[in-house]
Amino acid sequence: MSTSSDVSSKDSLSSSTPVSPAVFKKIGLVGRLGSDRAIYTIKRLMRFLDSCGLTVVLEADTASALPGHEHGEFSAAELGSKCDLVIVVGGDGSLLGAGREVSNHGVPLLGVNRGRLGFLTDIAPDEIEQKVADVLAGHYVSEERFLLSMEVRREGEAIAGGDALNDVVVHPGKFIRMIEFELYIDDQFVYGQRSDGIIISTPTGSTAYALSAGGPIMHPKLDAIELVPLNPHTLSSRPILLNGNVEIRLVVGSHNTAYPHVTCDGQTHVVTQPGDEVFIKKKSTAMTLIHPTDHNFYETCRRKLGWASHLVE
């Protein structure tokens, strides 16, 4: 975690031990734009938090959908330095975006699900008052989720970069063509590959795109990175699990007819050229994610992925 302005508060949030509600004095709200349900839930949250005597501020884009709200506004990048807690109303994509912005400040995030699957945003809309009140009273568990840092270098010079909470994906862009690249792990050559690309995923991202591509589900507490090939030309190419502290380097092949694209969480977008190098490693600062005390990762998998419940009653 990065150093925060209140070291004692940061230390208390990095464990699952309940902390004093005094830690959460200023609450930032981020909402899914274009969703009437999310806007309704944000208004409901604002009323509840105001009734608790807390200071509420809004992410600037979210505030634009709430004219006349009479609360402070900050950019997403500023929320991390202005708030003690950020509550995200929307889907996992909304929380991913907020997490990338505030992770440098060590501010915890709490998710209210107004999306679809909701692996990260795990409070249901009809539980808002009860669950948020529990969190404010110090009844919650927290965990750290690491991010990936990506950098593209051309002739040794950095030309672009980005962070990812879910995954970094190398793909052919809008054209369906195989791309060629070489993979190195800690400067050791692994293989050359022709495929539709590759997914480099965190444990958080293992239930997202990587899962759809045939990768394994990783428990969020694992310190590991997974590599999942996208439709490799060689059928023996399979997903690989790596230690979370490795450095991954991809070298774009010189014979590509398409220029491979690199995306971070489907947002940051870089177009590479033959010979470019893509470096991926764990980011030095993590994101703190808060859950209700009854949060259970396996129960979430059962519910979201349709796993069978008990076979014997």
State the binding site for NAD(+): 92-93, 166-167, 177, 194, 196, 207-212, 267
The residue type found at 247 is: E
Catalytic residue among 92, 163, 265, 276: 92
The yes-or-no answer on residue 223 being catalytic is: no
Question: Concatenated DSSP letters for 232-283?
Answer: -SSTT---EEEETT--EEEEE-TT-SS--EEEETTTEEEE--TT-EEEEEEE
The single-letter DSSP state of residue 150 is: E
16 Rama class: left (phi>0) / alpha (psi -120 to 50) / beta: alpha
**SS3 category, 177:** coil
Residues in contact with 80: Cβ distance below 8 Å, sequence separation at least 6, in sequence order: 86, 101, 102, 103, 104, 105, 106, 107
As annotated, the binding site includes: 92-93, 166-167, 177, 194, 196, 207-212, 267
Rounded to whole angstroms, the Cα distance separating 185 from 26 reads: 42
Q: Which residues are catalytic?
A: 92
